[in-house]
Structures are given as C-alpha cells and as structure tokens.
Structure 1
Amino acid sequence: MEHNDIEIKKSLRINKLIEDLYANMPEIEADRAYLLTESYRQTEDEPIIMRRARAFEHILNNIPITIRDQELIVGSATISPRGCQVFPEFSYSWLEGEFDTIATRSSDPFYISEDTKNILKDVFKYWKGRTTSELATTYMAPETKMAMEHNIFTPGNYFYNGVGHVTVCYEKILKIGFEGIINEVKKALSKLKVSDMDYVKRNEFLQSVLISCQAAIDYANRYAKLAVEEAKKCNDKTRKEELMLIAHNCSRVPAQGAATFYEACQSFWFVQMLLQVESSGHSISPGRFDQYMFPYYEADIKSGKITKEFAIELMDCIWVKLNDLNKARDAASAEGFAGYSLFQNLIAGGQNKDGVDVTNELSYMCIEASMHVMLPQPSLSVRVWNGTPHEFLIKAAKLTRTGIGLPAYYNDEVIIPGLVNRGLTLADAREYNIIGCVEPQKAGKTEGWHDAAFFNMLRPLELVFSNGIDQGKQISIETGDVEKMTSFEEFFEAYQKQMNYMIGLMVNADNAIDVAHGERCPLPFLSSMIEDCIGRGKSVQEGGAVYNFTGPQGFGIANMTDSLYAIKKLVFEDRKVTLAEFKHALEVNFGKGIDSAAAEEITKEVASNLLKQGKQVTEQEIRDIYTSVLSGGISKEEQERLNYILDLISELPKYGNDVTEVDMFAREVAYTYSKPLETFRNPRGGQYQAGLYPVSANVPLGAQTGATPDGRFAFTPIADGVSPASGRDTNGPTAAANSVAKLDHYIASNGTLFNQKFHPSALSGVRGLENFISLIRAFFDQKGSHMQFNVVSRDTLIDAQNHPENYKNLVVRVAGYSALFTSLSRSLQDDIIARTEQGF
C-alpha cells in the first residue's frame, strides 16, 4: 500500500473543543459517588458481583449527561470539561483530608465546590470499613506495612484506586455490539445446570454481565434522546444535522455492530469512557486502534461514504475526548503521576498474528491526529521491526520533532519473544499492544496488573549500610556490619539478601490488594470484554482472563550500577576508600547538609528552644548555628576528605557511556530485581514479571531516599527508567543507547523505559530525521526494547518554568507519558531540565 501523505489542517471545530477543554481548572464532581452509594444501600443482601452491576446500572441511568458545543463524538463522564468523578469503594479518606488543599497543591490541583464537599462527606460515612484499601490492609503482614511506611516500595496505585491497565476487545464490540455480548451470555446461561458445583458463582457473574451491558445500551440511548432534544432547539442548520446524525449513531451503537467509520468511532468512545465510569483505574489503553478501526475506514472510503478529511476530523475529536477524561489522586500519588495523565496508550503499526506488517493508512492518520491536537492524550506509540515502512518512521519522527514527546517507539524483535517466554502463543504475542507507559500485553485476553508497585532499588542498599535499620527501627533482616565486610562479593550478597526480603514483602502487599479487589470490587462490564471471563464464568478480578500477570516496576538501575561499581573499584580494588568512610559520607550527605530553607527552620527551632531555656542568643551565635546545620556540622578537614571521595567517584566510568565493564555490571544489577520477582505467583494464578521504569515517581521517591555511593546527594531525584543518570551520559546518544541495549530487556517483560532528550537542531532537516531513525534502528538491532524522546531546548524549558503564561500548550515527555509542562510540579520540571541534552 502506498501512503497518501496529505497534511490535513486542524479544523476550527477542534480548536474550539481544545480551547473549551482547558478554559478552567479541572473539577471534582460527586454524582457517581452519590449514585453508587445510593445503590449499595439498596442491595445490602445481594452478592457483590450483582451489587457492582446494579450500581453501574443505577449510575448510567441517572448520572447527568451533556453534549459539549461542536462535539461530533459524544459521551462525558462529567459535566465540566476535564472533570473527574469520585470512587469511594476503593478509598476516600485521602480526599476528605485534602478537601481544603486539593485546589492549591503543586501537582494536579482540582477545584471542588462546597456543595460537592458536603455531598461527599455524607457519602463517605457509608464507606468506612467497606473499601478495598481497608480490606487489603488487613491481609498484609505487619512487616509489609512497616516496609511501606519506610518507603521501600509503594503499591499505592491499586491500594487506593481501581486497577485499569487493560485493553479490552474493542473490535468485538465494533463487530457485534453489546447485544451480541448479551446473546453470548444468554447461551452460556442456557448451558448451566443448577447442580453444577460452580453454578451459583457462574450464574451470578453472567447475570451481572447482562445487567452491565444493557446499562451501556440504555446510556447511549439517553444520548440519542438528548441529541434529538438539542436538535429541536438548534437554529443552526449544519449543527442541527450533526445532532441528528449523533442521535442516529447513539441509537445504534454500542448496542449493535458498527456499520460505518463514524459509528465505529462513537462505539469505541462509549466503551473507552464507560470503562472509566465503572472503575477508577487508569491506563485503560485503546491499543491497536489502526487495526480494528481500519476495516470501517477502508469500506467507507471505497464506497464514498466518507472523505479522508472528515475521517481525520472524527479522529481529532476522539483525541480531544481522551484528554477530557481525568482522575484525582492523593497529593503524594499526584507527584508520581504528575500532569493529569490517564496513560491511554494507543499504538500504531507492527505485525499481525502471521508475522506480516500491517501498517496502513490509519496508522499514518493516528500520527496526523496527534500532530493536529498537540495534546498529551492519547499516549501515542509505534511498533517497529525490520518490516516497518521507512516512510512510517519518517512520519513518526516528524511528530517527535515537534517536541510533544510522542510517539514512543517499541521493538517487536524483543517484545514478541519476551511475551512468548511468559506463556503467550506466538500469534497472540505478535498482536501485542502497549498499556499505560511501556507495558506490553495481548489485548482482550490479559489482566496484567501492570504498575502494581514502585520498588526503589536504592533503599535496600541503604539497609545494607544500616544492617536493616531505618529511622531507628529494625525494618529488615540483618546482613552484617558493613564495616567488617572484606570483599565485594560479601557486600553484593548482602544487597541481594535485602532485595530478596523486600521483594517478598512487596509481593505480599500486591497479593493482599489483589484479593481485596476480587472480593469487593469485581468489574462485570470490563469482564464482558475480556476473554475468557464469560466462558470461565468469573470476573477479571477473580482470574477470568486468559493471561494473568502482576507487574511491579523497579527503578534506580543507573544509580545502583554507578554506586556498586564505585564500591567495587574504590573500596575493594583500588583501596582508596573504606566502607566505614563510605558509610559516614552517606550519613552526612557528603558534607552537603540540607537545603537552606530547611536549615533556616531548624535554626529557628534551636534558637527558640535556647530562649525558652532562658539563654541569650546573639546574632553571631544564630549565624553559627545556621552554618553548622547547613553543613551537617562537618569540619574543614573532614569536608576536604569528603570532597576527595566525591572527586574519586566522579572520575570513575559511568553507566550510559558504552563502557562494557560498567554496562554488564548494570545488567547484573537489573537481575537482582527481575530474576527473584519472576519466581512468585499471584492470586489469579498468574506469574509476576518485572518492569524497569518509574513513571515520574523517581522524583518524589528520590525525595525520600538518602545519599548514595554514586555521588547522588540525599533527597534528590533518582535516575528514570533504564536511562543513565542525568548528566552522566557524556559520550553522546549512540553511546547511551549502546549501554542501555546491554541490559536484558527480554526478562523485564513488563517493560523498560529509555528516555533521551535532544536539542531541536539535532532533528532539523531531512538529514536530522534520517540520523534519528538510524539511532532507533541501531538500538533496536542490539535488542533494546523501547525509546522515547524530548526534543526541546533547555533554554525553552527554563523560560517556560519562569513564564508559564507564555507556554500553556507546551507538551513534554515526562516518563512513559507526555504532559503539559506547566502542569508539572517544580521538582519534576527541574528533573526534565536536568536530563542530558543530546545532539548528533
């Protein structure tokens, strides 16, 4: 197929939709929480799966609906653009505690009215003792909860929220609609016998699916009726016709199979949006949109029912709608997921089940849609292999060159065998898509539990130096007095023991949360679109999917590599520094003390206490106290020795510069997380698999981590993903890519994340694009798994930080997602600015 590379300009309609979308701060609404609670109070004696279905039905029958001005694709979870609903069945106390601060916090603020607060306060009374988070807590071992309190790992993603992180069988709904699903369920019900040992469970589950699917149909009919009502009042002939066509579409889909591309777009959107209404999980990803939508586009183009211009406008509308969905998180989680992102990953290109490249016209149009709207969602990705058309990569590179941080690039040659190694059939693995940030899975068959936890690989290293003690408490196993260790092998073994112990506790936390979701929040609507829930007669949360995984991610590879290498070289090979000196250097933060603001607060407190004791404090004494606090009380001689240690560390080769000895060391470091993890099983009968990426949690979790032997100061960001630490990859982008490629990306089958930042001049002109594609090809030829890029100058980012009013539309790549730069916290902005700026 030859691609018709027509550049279609963004329409006035799309400009208006985007302008309205970002006109105000996102708002929290209470309708879903109120209706959910109202339903739960009426179904106290029913099985939980039926209560979930009836609550979903009650919500969809009664939640306020709206058709926004100029929309062609309708269906909104909230009345206010970018608003969000509340999901108290998972957790609520964090929101109640933030009622007065959520509108002014640094990351992802939300407006919440006093009326909404009052409604939610009354609703929350019902949920005390009934949430998944409270149940999960009771299932966790005491030592697990202690490890969480000390920030070794955090499973907060699903501890306080729904799971999400899934791609459903969109193509099935497009083909047969929910009426088809209902018929399938009725056939399954007809085969049940009341004497079957699992009749009760199967029957209740299947009945709940019937209720949920019918609720989705009825909800769409509400929109059909609303569109007719608005058309009657509309004086604009063109808009009246649009509204009547919207009414027609909503009366047919998603009840029936789609007959046109427009109907397919509307059907897709209802599914995408309603999944968000049922559960607060994020990373509900559209997957291979270009594949399941293409037959409808191709048929309409051939028959003349649609023009390419109108088709791309419909896609633009969907792209805007994907940014309309939103989610409120607690303040700490908002720091880790900053940018209001829902991580809705849409991927284009790649192979079919037979190993044939299936890049098509719609694959290119997905890139064009992202070029038009220039918004963070969808989190666009492209699949790359040796059969990928060069012009497709050129098109993708042109989008990258805009600086939006899209698309991300994924390597079929690594991901497909990696999934086969996890038990997927070759046909299923070839049809993988990406979930959320970087997590591969087979759509419509998988409950992957991706992003199940963040595991900070630097914290077990701290526990080696402290012999398992943190903040005066024995929170981990004893691995010996670090000052008495006589070989690197002994030190490294101690680190592995601390890692293994904490990984086991993380598994305990994840499994406890997993069980709690199965018992209190099964999702019949979601389960209706995942194989083989109907056949097995159980929800996704109870193990109904064909493939079941749990994928917590470890991060800190670069810092751990450089830290362990420094200890190996400086302590045990060159014998220039002792472990006792290293331990002291870390305790005093290499003599750098703490930041000035914190030092001022401590100084005020010390001076106040002295005054309370009746002691006079002169201005000179206050200055001396401040200087002492700021420096950690380090003498001049001691600081000189600490500076000498820092100089020795800085002279060592670092991960990210194509130094084989260091890079193979990084491979072994990654194994300390990935290999032990894959020995565990989850309650749904599936395997644990490692991911190596932090989303953006490397910044806030770095703020909870002390100094490390690589010279990283306390409470500063940890390196993101498998990327080199900021500023240490000094030999250029190819050297950095060569280093990252030496990791074992196959075993990290829940995804790896490699960030690079380029100055815009690096991708200028045809040669810049060709050089860029050559870099990707070379990295993938060496079996790297993923690459993503920021193409923006440091000066631009600094100016945007200082003058945000001039950069309202600046989108950057954060981690496995893009976000508006000005919506990010200052610390996260600083981390992006600090990344090495490469050029060819």
Structure 2
Amino acid sequence: MSQNIYEINKSPRIQNLVDQLFEKLPEIESDRAVLLTESYKESEGQPIIVRRAKAFSHILRNIPITIRKDELIVGSATKSPRSCQVFPEFSCDWLEKEFDTVETRSADPFYISEDNKKILRDVYKYWKGKTTSELATSYMADETIKAMEHNIFTPGNYYYNGVGHVTVKYEKVLEVGYEGIIEEVKEELSKCNVADHDYAKRSHFLKSVIQSCEAVIVYANRYAELALNMAKQCNDNVRRNELLEIASNCARVPAKGARSFYEACQSFWFVQMLLQVESSGHSISPGRFDQYMYPYYKADIESGKITKEFAQELMDCIWVKLNDLNKVRDAGSAEGFAGYGLFQNLIVGGQDAGGIDVTNDLSFMAIESSMHVMLPQPSLSIRVWNGSPHELLIKAAKLTRTGIGLPAYYNDEVIIPSLLNRGLTLADAREYNIIGCVEPQKAGKTDGWHDAAFFNMCRPLELVFSNGYDKGELVGVETGDVTNMETFEEFYDAYKKQMKYCIELLVNADNSIDVAHMERCPLPYLSSMVDDCIKRGKSVQEGGAIYNFTGPQGFGVANMADSLYAIKKLVFDEKKVTLAEYKDALENNYGRGLSLERVEELTREVIKKLENDGHTIDAEVVAQVSATIALDSLDNSKKSKYDKLLEMIDEVPKFGNDIKEVDQFARDVAYVYTRPLENYKNPRGGQYQAGLYPVSANVPLGAQTGATPDGRLAHTPVADGVSPSAGKDLFGPTAAANSVAKLDHGIASNGTLFNQKFHPSVLAGRTGLEAFVNFIRGYFDQKGSHIQFNVVSRDTLIEAQKNPEKYKTLVVRVAGYSALFTSLSRSLQDDIINRTEQRGF
C-alpha cells in the first residue's frame, strides 16, 4: 500500500533496487568475523594499531564482493541485501546466546544459517576476554555497574559496539583520493626521528594509516575487475556499457581524485560503506552532501557531461545503497533502536563559513531523492535560518507531507551559538552538520561520542521516594525519609543529589568504555579522514580529533517537570495530599496494575518455568514476559482508592500548553541534568555536553520504570525527547511549540528532539504547506533547536498494526530517525499511535 497520495513513483531501476532489499529477511553473515580473527591470530604481540590495520587490509583483500542487478553505484558489505557482518572485537557473548532467537524476536529480526552459527561459535572462542566490552567492564566502579543493573542509565551503544557517530572529510577523498592522503602521511612519517619520545606510537600509527588506505584501493580495484568480467559476459548492450563505466570508475576512485560527478558518487559510497566495515559503529553520517558534491555536479552540468536527470538517478542509487547497510544489535538494544536504524544523517541547506546561504541544486535534488526512494535512509535533515530560500522549505514540506517523517528541521540561530560556546571557531560552527539523530558537530574535525548513554531522568526521582534504595540495594544516595520532608525545596534538593550521584556514575561508565576503545579498537582508516590525526600522529580514539566531546542524553523532561510541579502544587502549595500518600500511590501504581517489584517477581517465576520446560531464554524473552505481565495487569477503568489523587494530578497544569509557570519549571528541571555534565572531562581531553533525546529508548526503558507523580503508570513509555507527554498537550501544536521553545536548547548542545504528529489534512495544498513553513519559522524564532513530524492519521497506523502485510512500505518518524512502521516492536508502534494528533495550527 502506498504511503499516501503524495508519494512520487520510483523509476523502474530504483524500484528494482528497492525490491531487492526486501526480498527476504536480513541475514547475519560471518565473512568479516572469520577474516578478522585470522589476522588477529597472526599478529599476536604486535601494537594494537598495527593489528587493526592488518586486519582491515586482510578483510578488504578477501571478503566476498558482489554487484547487484541494475546497480550504478557499487560496493556492498554483505553478499545478501540489507544484511550485516558481525564485529566480535567489540562484543560477542550476547549474539551467541541469541543465535536461536534472533530470527523470531519482535524487533529487528535477522536470519542466521546453521553453518554461520557453527562458524561464529568457533570464531568466538578466540575472543573470550579480548573484547572492548569486557575491558570496559573491568574499568568500571562497582557502584557504576550496580546503577546500570538497576536501569538508571545504559551506555549500551559503545559498550557492545563500535562508536561511529562521525562525519569524515569526504571532500578530501574526492579531491586527492587515498593516493593523495598516503603521500601526506608519508611526508609526516619522514619527519619522524627514531629518537623522538613519541616515535614508536606515532610511526606505527602513520604506517597503519598507509596500510589501511592502500587496502581500500585494492578493494576498489577488485570491484573494477569484477565489473569488467561481468561486462564481458553480459549480452545486454545497455547493461554492458554500464558495467564498463562502473569498472572505469572503480579503477580511478577512490585511489585518485574524482574528475566527474559520477566518479564522486562512487568515491563517496566506498568511503561511507567501508567506514562501517572497519567498525560496527552506527550514525556514520554523510553530512553536507549538497556542499562537497556540488562542485562536481556543477562542472559536469556546465560542460554538458551529464544531464540533471542522470545526476538525480545517481543520487537515487546512493539513497538505496544507504538502506543496504545494516547491523545486528542485542535484543534489548534492538527494542531501543527498532527499525534497523543506522541513522546516517545527510543534511542540506544552511550557511558557509562566512555566513552566506549555500543552498544549491543538490539541496533540492536530495529532497527529491528521498521522495523517489521513500525509505528511512538517509536520515535527511535541513538547516533553517533567516537566509534559507522559501522554496527550499516548501520543497521540504512537500516531503514531510508524504508521511515519511523526513526531513528533520534544525535552527542555525540556536545551534551555531551553542557550538561556539563549546569552543568551536565561528567558521566551523557555521559549517555544522547533524550526526545520527539530532547531534550537531563540525565534520572532519570532531570525535563527538554523541549518543554515549541513555539517562532516565525519572529513575532518580524513584530513588528520592525510596531513600536511594532499589530492590533492597543502595543504588543512589541516602537523602532521607521522603515522608519527613517539610518543604518543596528540601524535596527538590534530594532529587538534585540523586541526579548528581547518578550522573557521576554515568560519566564513569562512559570514560571506562572510552579507554577500552582507545586501547583495543583504534581505527586508522577512520582517522585518516579526521583532522588533526595525521598531524598529531594519533588515532581518533586517542584524542587525535580537533574537537573531542562525550554526549550522553537524558530523557523524561516532560515527566519530571509535570511530576515535580504536581508535587509542589498538591503537597506543598495546596496541601491536598501528603508525601506519604503520594509514596503509597506510586508503590501501588495508583491501583492500576502490579508494582514494578511484583512484576519482576512474577517474571522470574515465569522465566524459571520456561527454562524448566526447555525454552531458550534471552533478554528479549525476559522483556516480553515482563511487559505482558505488566500490561495485562493494567486496567484504566478499574476504580481504586487512588482515583481522587489521579483526578487532582490531572487538573494540575502540564508542560506543553504554553503556561509560563510550568514551562519555566521544565526549563529548570532540564538544567538538573544538563548543567552538571558540563563539569566533566573525557579521556580524549574533551568536555561532556548534554543531549535531551531518547532515540526510541523511552519505550523499553519506560517499561523498567515505576509509576511517576505526574500520573504516568509503571511500565509505560516515558516522554520522548523534549516533547510534552503524550496526550498532555491540549491546546494545539503552537502552544506545545511555545512551551518546548522555553527550554534552554543552547546548553543541550548535543541536541534536543521535538516530535509532533499532524493529520495529513493539515498540510494539504499550497495553503497547508505555507502554514506549515510559517509554523516552523515561528518555533525557531523563539529559539527552538529541532523539530520533526509524523504526518499520518491515527486510523492509518492502527490499520497498519492490524494488517502489516498491507503496509510494508509505510515509513514513520520514530525518534531521531524514520523506520518502516511494521518493523517496529508493538510497544513502539503503540507509542507512535498515542502521540497527540494535531489537526490544525
């Protein structure tokens, strides 16, 4: 079934390429893991940077390659479309435990053959005790591990996987190729003196960069040879000529600088794909594609070497290829990143270093490609400022109303000053791009460690009510018996103390993981394209980048604002209820289901029975059992002694309704997370900076959270990003936007995320588009940083949930990314359905 009436039909080639992606379930392949392990066994005892380069080279020289039917841009990390390799150097125990359940899990299932299970089990024997996750654990404080076990926060992204979250200097590869980079590195190497204090590390790093770049050239030449052989055997003259041109391109780039737009497209793709072969990190983002690709397009158009139509088709092909990349996550993380997300953010529009708008033809064509392909990748974004051409925003709005959830909109007037405050130069700040979901940085100069952890701001409030204890263990700090607190200031201060303590543990977790990546998985290939690694003679992981940050994100701002405001009003201002009564209500989930402790107790009983019956148990099975027990116990129609309290809570004003007192309170609550983080440094010499966005972790982590004083029931989703709690914004999108704009988006310089959902009728016709653009500009004029939209009716989503086979191509905005709706877990689908549906401005 089509997305909606605004969908633009794909060309036959693009349709064929898209169809290939979805012919079967994505598959877990073993080739990279086998080749990596072979190399590591041969390089025992050598410096880690050398081992990494040798392994990367061994992989690229031997991994199977393929050219798929109808492709114009080639290079695939896997034999099967939309499949994935695995990365045992980061972690492997979880996948081995999930071999028999990964195909049937609800979120992001993968097929894995029995042969590949056998191969990987054998490979994994080598990696026991050698992974970054194991080393990171050994560095963590006991209190940190306990906090993670009690779901205060999770640093799962980099704990079990590569880091990613970077934009490299694509333009450098396009200009000089890897031969040019190799020459630059050789010049630096010639300056090294054997007696230098850093000679050993510096020289090994530089030699490793050379070996990695040479391996990429070999890899591209393998594709040139394959295309040439396929052309010799091809009876279709049109396809034969295409293959011959592919062979010519791959023989030229990325070894040398690109001479045409077609060569630039192919060179770009090799860089983008191979970064994700070196490491399993996601959110490797193309950045300002319309800027670094434009000179090649402009020259070819002006010389008549290419038509705009063919250039558009090449971009469409790249858009399809971005959806061919994939990765497998553990079951728990898959719930938090549901939709096979890789978060490859590509942004258009905005300013140059001198503050001049640089919108060009490719800015419009990038939006057009997303219309043609209608898939989640790339995660298209657009920069907005007072110099943005109106028609670019109208074009973007046309894409928004297709319902695909793209693009996301970003405000130059907030983001540029926030980056300046973090130490970027004005020129660099003006040239920012977005990484992954919503994270701004300067491309080619930054190791931002964005998305470094999920911090649940609601859990420390639970610790206030329990005096720091959870399940009988001291997890936070003892802040006293909550029922004896006599003022709101005393209560709020207790929350701040719990937050500060938990934030310190989060920093310890992230720093431990940071050091583990530095010591066990430096990335010489990635480092060849980030300044100033070559000059400094150190990898990105060792602090080679010019700008180094760590950006963990907090979520639940709306819940915390509404909860604390309700306590202030009901307990201390109006004295309608006591803290003892509130504590009792929370412990008993307002009489609307089982308590968190009781759900966990029953879950353990069910799991034990399943194990006794011979069932395989993994994290997802536990989560599903827990969610089923919790949800089955909920009955919103059930009367209880807590109904009067819930009625009082419901009458307290909520964040998201343009009420000054509440909104200012929310701003202060957000500061409780964002301000303390600024005081900490990471092992790469950089600063911590806060983000306020959840990806989609507000749903699974909400399932691990008890009832909150805003009336939210235990086990239900926590508010996403800086958006109001679902259903609590009662006065339309403008009122909600006015509230969100009152937060300090500048201090949350790792990004904020604001979701809104509109009925499709709101954006109908030119009038609807104009009103929509005015709404965005109005929000940005008030210093909002980011906004994104779902334009799809609640009825459509419910129907898609009931009949998924009819809605296989329905794409929606989840959090900082879009995904196929039917690929999401049921709980995440419900969260999107329950978001407030706006029907006018």
Alignment match, 2:59: 59
Distance 1:529 1:455 in 2: 31
Runs of 4+ in 1 over 4 A off after TM superposition: 598-606, 627-634
Q: Could you say what secondary structure the match of 1:267 adopts?
A: helix
After the TM superposition, which residues 563-582 of structure 1 pair with which residues of structure 2 at under 5 Å, given as runs? 563-582=563-582
1:266 aligned onto 2:266: yes
Work out whether residues 591 and 631 of structure 1, in 8 Å CA contact, stay in contact via their aligned partners in 2: no
Distance 2:573 2:370 in 1: 52
Q: Could you say what secondary structure the match of 2:64 adopts?
A: coil
Alignment match, 1:333: 333
1:594 deviates by 3.3
Distance 1:485 1:605 in 2: 37
1:628 deviates by 14
> Relative to 1, partners in 2 of residues 1:698 and 1:389: Cα closer, same or farther, differing over 3 Å?
same
1:258 deviates by 0.3
Alignment match, 1:642: 642
After the TM superposition, which residues 163-312 of structure 1 pair with which residues of structure 2 at under 5 Å, given as runs? 163-312=163-312
Distance 2:790 2:593 in 1: 33
1:632 deviates by 10
Q: For 1:18-42, what per-residue CA distance to the aligned partner results, in whole angstroms no more than 9, with x for missing partners?
A: 0011110000000000000000000
Q: What is the identity, as a one-letter code, of the residue corresponding to 1:196?
A: D
1:630 deviates by 8.2
> Relative to 1, partners in 2 of residues 1:224 and 1:123: Cα closer, same or farther, differing over 3 Å?
same
Q: Could you say what secondary structure the match of 2:178 adopts?
A: helix
Q: What is the identity, as a one-letter code, of the residue corresponding to 2:174?
A: L
Distance 2:750 2:8 in 1: 36
Q: Which runs of 5+ in 1 are unaligned?
A: 1-6, 610-626
Equivalent residue pairs, number: 812
Q: For 1:757-789, what per-residue CA distance to the aligned partner results, in whole angstroms no more than 9, with x for missing partners?
A: 000000001111111111100000000000000
> Relative to 1, partners in 2 of residues 1:295 and 1:633: Cα closer, same or farther, differing over 3 Å?
closer
Alignment match, 2:744: 744
Distance 1:593 1:111 in 2: 37
Q: What is the identity, as a one-letter code, of the residue corresponding to 2:420?
A: V
Distance 1:747 1:731 in 2: 27
Alignment match, 2:621: none
1:698 aligned onto 2:694: no
> Relative to 1, partners in 2 of residues 1:60 and 1:628: Cα closer, same or farther, differing over 3 Å?
closer
Work out whether residues 231 and 244 of structure 1, in 8 Å CA contact, stay in contact via their aligned partners in 2: yes
CA RMSD in angstroms, aligned pairs only: 2.1
Distance 2:595 2:499 in 1: 30
Alignment match, 1:666: 666
> Relative to 1, partners in 2 of residues 1:794 and 1:59: Cα closer, same or farther, differing over 3 Å?
same
After the TM superposition, which residues 696-775 of structure 1 pair with which residues of structure 2 at under 5 Å, given as runs? 696-775=696-775
> Relative to 1, partners in 2 of residues 1:228 and 1:664: Cα closer, same or farther, differing over 3 Å?
same
Q: What is the identity, as a one-letter code, of the residue corresponding to 1:319?
A: W
Alignment match, 1:613: none
Alignment match, 2:549: 549
After the TM superposition, which residues 611-650 of structure 1 pair with which residues of structure 2 at under 5 Å, given as runs? 640-650=640-650
Work out whether residues 477 and 498 of structure 1, in 8 Å CA contact, stay in contact via their aligned partners in 2: yes
1:75 deviates by 0.1
Alignment match, 2:615: none
Work out whether residues 556 and 718 of structure 1, in 8 Å CA contact, stay in contact via their aligned partners in 2: yes
Q: For 1:252-298, what per-residue CA distance to the aligned partner results, in whole angstroms no more than 9, with x for missing partners?
A: 00000000000000000000000000000000000000000000000
Work out whether residues 152 and 455 of structure 1, in 8 Å CA contact, stay in contact via their aligned partners in 2: yes
Work out whether residues 599 and 630 of structure 1, in 8 Å CA contact, stay in contact via their aligned partners in 2: no
> Relative to 1, partners in 2 of residues 1:227 and 1:648: Cα closer, same or farther, differing over 3 Å?
same
Distance 1:773 1:237 in 2: 47
Q: For 1:479-505, what per-residue CA distance to the aligned partner results, in whole angstroms no more than 9, with x for missing partners?
A: 010000000000000000000000000
Distance 1:798 1:541 in 2: 45
Alignment match, 1:779: 779
1:371 deviates by 0.2
> Relative to 1, partners in 2 of residues 1:640 and 1:105: Cα closer, same or farther, differing over 3 Å?
closer
1:602 deviates by 5.5
Work out whether residues 29 and 116 of structure 1, in 8 Å CA contact, stay in contact via their aligned partners in 2: yes
Work out whether residues 549 and 687 of structure 2, in 8 Å CA contact, stay in contact via their aligned partners in 1: yes
Distance 2:503 2:663 in 1: 24
Work out whether residues 682 and 688 of structure 2, in 8 Å CA contact, stay in contact via their aligned partners in 1: yes
Q: What is the identity, as a one-letter code, of the residue corresponding to 1:72?
A: L
Work out whether residues 177 and 254 of structure 1, in 8 Å CA contact, stay in contact via their aligned partners in 2: yes
Distance 2:633 2:306 in 1: 69
Alignment match, 1:410: 410
Alignment match, 2:689: 689
Alignment match, 1:624: none
> Relative to 1, partners in 2 of residues 1:190 and 1:632: Cα closer, same or farther, differing over 3 Å?
closer
Distance 2:478 2:129 in 1: 36
After the TM superposition, which residues 433-582 of structure 1 pair with which residues of structure 2 at under 5 Å, given as runs? 433-582=433-582
> Relative to 1, partners in 2 of residues 1:601 and 1:445: Cα closer, same or farther, differing over 3 Å?
closer
Q: What is the identity, as a one-letter code, of the residue corresponding to 1:154?
A: T
Distance 1:644 1:600 in 2: 28
Q: Which runs of 5+ in 2 are unaligned?
A: 1-6, 610-628
Alignment match, 1:678: 678
1:595 deviates by 10
Work out whether residues 228 and 247 of structure 2, in 8 Å CA contact, stay in contact via their aligned partners in 1: yes
After the TM superposition, which residues 55-204 of structure 1 pair with which residues of structure 2 at under 5 Å, given as runs? 55-204=55-204
Alignment match, 2:425: 425
1:195 deviates by 1.0
Q: Could you say what secondary structure the match of 2:323 adopts?
A: helix
Alignment match, 1:615: none
1:318 aligned onto 2:328: no
1:603 deviates by 12
Q: Could you say what secondary structure the match of 1:324 adopts?
A: coil
Q: For 1:3-23, what per-residue CA distance to the aligned partner results, in whole angstroms no more than 9, with x for missing partners?
A: xxxx99632100000001111
Alignment match, 2:618: none
Distance 2:278 2:458 in 1: 37
Q: TM-score, normalised by structure 2?
A: 0.95
Distance 2:530 2:509 in 1: 25
Alignment match, 2:350: 350
Work out whether residues 592 and 630 of structure 1, in 8 Å CA contact, stay in contact via their aligned partners in 2: no
> Relative to 1, partners in 2 of residues 1:631 and 1:87: Cα closer, same or farther, differing over 3 Å?
closer
1:631 deviates by 7.5
Alignment match, 2:625: none
Alignment match, 1:364: 364
Q: For 1:456-514, what per-residue CA distance to the aligned partner results, in whole angstroms no more than 9, with x for missing partners?
A: 00000000000000011111110010000000000000000000000000000000000
Q: What is the identity, as a one-letter code, of the residue corresponding to 1:380?
A: L
Alignment match, 2:616: none
Q: For 1:341-392, what per-residue CA distance to the aligned partner results, in whole angstroms no more than 9, with x for missing partners?
A: 1000000000000000000000000000000000000000000000000000
Distance 1:17 1:630 in 2: 43
Work out whether residues 599 and 629 of structure 1, in 8 Å CA contact, stay in contact via their aligned partners in 2: no
Q: Could you say what secondary structure the match of 1:129 adopts?
A: coil
Q: Could you say what secondary structure the match of 1:694 adopts?
A: coil
Distance 1:528 1:104 in 2: 40
> Relative to 1, partners in 2 of residues 1:601 and 1:630: Cα closer, same or farther, differing over 3 Å?
farther
> Relative to 1, partners in 2 of residues 1:493 and 1:350: Cα closer, same or farther, differing over 3 Å?
same
Distance 1:253 1:321 in 2: 18
> Relative to 1, partners in 2 of residues 1:374 and 1:155: Cα closer, same or farther, differing over 3 Å?
same
Work out whether residues 589 and 595 of structure 2, in 8 Å CA contact, stay in contact via their aligned partners in 1: no
Work out whether residues 483 and 579 of structure 1, in 8 Å CA contact, stay in contact via their aligned partners in 2: yes
1:97 deviates by 0.2
Q: Could you say what secondary structure the match of 1:734 adopts?
A: helix
Q: TM-score, normalised by structure 1?
A: 0.95
Distance 1:419 1:696 in 2: 25
After the TM superposition, which residues 21-36 of structure 1 pair with which residues of structure 2 at under 5 Å, given as runs? 21-36=21-36
Q: Could you say what secondary structure the match of 1:79 adopts?
A: coil
Q: For 1:187-246, what per-residue CA distance to the aligned partner results, in whole angstroms no more than 9, with x for missing partners?
A: 000111111111111000000000000000000000000000000110000000000000
Distance 2:191 2:599 in 1: 72
